[in-house]
């Protein structure tokens, strides 16, 4: 289902958006490159290809989406960090290269995202979801009871060591006081297949990836990681509704950042136009199809949000000693 969804999204959003109107002098007077630090066809790329054509219409200039995958998004992020801060190279990012990689592999990440990048505007947000193989207990409370009765026996899969999914799963185990065995995979779809097949007990995965199998009963959806329930998984509670996980509140954001030093007037223009884009009903519907919803923050609020996220993730990573050498 995910493959079909993403193919549909990509087909409807070309990398080069049409120009409905000429720019009114000044910035932008040439095409803008938006670097997506992950491969084409993934969830981050799909969100960018939903939103960027509409932003191009608002700006009256082409936006070229450039996929620069590798090293959990850090290669593409590094490219933007080194780019000229003139508004013609932007980053469409998520937490992995901004707030996770600098914590789990500090020796390999040669930038400080909170200093070297300027947050412009978040675009979309979606929670993760804890799922289990068929045959496990029906509720989160019953699952936690089972896990505590068999410490170290139940397994959980993520898309690798030190990823956002791994850190989120670690947060769940820490708050609930669980001892689970981590099984790292190379990709989320591989994890989902093995949970459905019973090869691994549990997983923390994006809602957009899971929603089809969850609705068909091929995997059990225990709860989303956000404090609010997700419209993409009606009937699935928030994990925070379980007392042991009452403090859990994790969302996966996607948004635009620029090299530090960008002209404040350009930054404010981008933020203003993104806000207008997020009010578009068609865009909202397409995001909803992918398990996402618009995320609205001012640049200052976005910067504060990222700083708080870094602080929270740092505590989790430090307590679990998650490191990639």
Query: What pLDDT sits at residue 19?
Result: 41
Q: Is residue 132 part of a domain?
A: yes
Do 9 and 106 have their domain in common?
yes
Residues 6+ apart with CB under 8 A from 160: 72, 166, 184, 185, 186
Q: Is residue 94 part of a domain?
A: yes
Domain end, chosen from 196, 220, 245, is at 245
Instruction: Give the range of the structural domain holding residue 55, as residue numbers without chain letter.
Output: 2-126+252-320
Query: What pLDDT sits at residue 186?
Result: 87
Q: Is residue 325 part of a domain?
A: no
CA dihedral 141, 142, 147, 150 (to 10 degrees): 150
Give me 251's structure tokens: 């969302």
- pTM, two decimals, is 0.86
Q: Is residue 201 part of a domain?
A: yes
Do 91 and 157 have their domain in common?
no
Write the CATH number for 164.
3.40.190.10
Whether 18 contacts 221, CB under 8 Å: no
Q: Is residue 141 part of a domain?
A: yes
Q: Hunting for tokens 């979801």 — which residue is that?
A: 129
Domain end, chosen from 190, 211, 245, is at 245
Do 33 and 139 have their domain in common?
no
Number of domains in the chain: 2
Q: Is residue 105 part of a domain?
A: yes
Do 98 and 47 have their domain in common?
yes
232 — phi, psi (to 5°)?
A: -75, -20
Query: What pLDDT sits at residue 302?
Result: 98
190: Cα separation from own chain's centroid: 18
Query: What pLDDT sits at residue 8?
Result: 38
CA dihedral 174, 314, 247, 198 (to 10 degrees): -50
Do 9 and 122 have their domain in common?
yes
Query: What pLDDT sits at residue 41?
Result: 83
Query: What pLDDT sits at residue 210?
Result: 93
Do 256 and 233 have their domain in common?
no
Distance CA 233, CA 19 (A): 37
Query: What pLDDT sits at residue 187?
Result: 87
Decide: residue 100, CB within 10 A, 0-12 exposed, 13-18 middle, 19+ buried.
buried
Q: Is residue 226 part of a domain?
A: yes
Q: Is residue 115 part of a domain?
A: yes
Query: What pLDDT sits at residue 14?
Result: 42
Do 193 and 52 have their domain in common?
no
Distance CA 97, CA 256 (A): 13
CA dihedral 302, 308, 311, 317 (to 10 degrees): -80
Whether 255 contacts 234, CB under 8 Å: no
Pick out the chain residues at pLDDT < 70.
1-25, 325
Query: What pLDDT sits at residue 96?
Result: 93
Query: What pLDDT sits at residue 290?
Result: 87
In tens, the pLDDT along 61-107 reads 999 999 999 888 999 999 999 999 999 999 999 999 999 999 999 98
Burial 233-249 (b: 16+ CB within 10 A, else e): beebbbbbebebbeebb
Do 84 and 108 have their domain in common?
yes
Write the CATH number for 275.
3.40.190.150
């Amino acid at each position: 289902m995910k493959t079909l969804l993403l193919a549909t999204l990509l087909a409807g959003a070309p990398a080069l958006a049409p120009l409905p109107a000429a720019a009114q002098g000044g910035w932008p007077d040439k095409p803008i490159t938006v670097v997506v630090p992950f491969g084409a066809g993934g969830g981050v790329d799909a969100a960018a290809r939903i939103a960027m054509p509409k932003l191009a219409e608002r700006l009256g200039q082409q936006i070229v989406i450039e996929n620069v995958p590798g090293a959990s998004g850090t290669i593409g992020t590094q490219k933007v960090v080194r780019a000229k801060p003139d508004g013609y190279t932007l980053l469409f990012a998520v937490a992995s290269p901004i707030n996770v990689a600098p914590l789990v592999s500090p020796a390999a990440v040669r930038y400080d995202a909170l200093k070297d990048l300027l947050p412009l505007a978040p675009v979309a947000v979606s929670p993760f979801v804890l799922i289990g193989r068929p045959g496990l207990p029906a509720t989160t409370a019953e699952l936690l009871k089972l896990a505590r009765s068999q410490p170290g026996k139940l397994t959980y899969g993520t898309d690798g060591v030190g990823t956002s999914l791994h850190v989120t799963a670690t947060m769940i185990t820490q708050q609930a006081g669980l001892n689970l065995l981590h099984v790292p995979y190379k990709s989320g779809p591989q994890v989902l297949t093995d949970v459905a097949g019973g090869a691994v007990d549990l997983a923390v995965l994006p809602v957009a990836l899971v929603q089809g199998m969850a609705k068909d009963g091929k995997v059990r959806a225990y709860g989303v990681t956000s404090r609010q329930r997700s419209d993409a998984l009606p009937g699935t509670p928030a994990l925070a509704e379980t007392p042991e996980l009452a403090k859990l509140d994790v969302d996966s954001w996607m948004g635009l950042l620029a090299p530090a030093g960008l002209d404040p007037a350009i930054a404010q223009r981008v933020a203003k136009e993104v806000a207008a884009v997020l009010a578009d009903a068609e865009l909202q519907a397409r995001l909803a199809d992918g398990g996402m919803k618009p995320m609205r923050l001012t640049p200052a609020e976005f910067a504060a949000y990222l700083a708080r996220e870094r602080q929270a993730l740092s505590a989790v990573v430090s307590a679990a000693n998650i490191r990639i050498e």
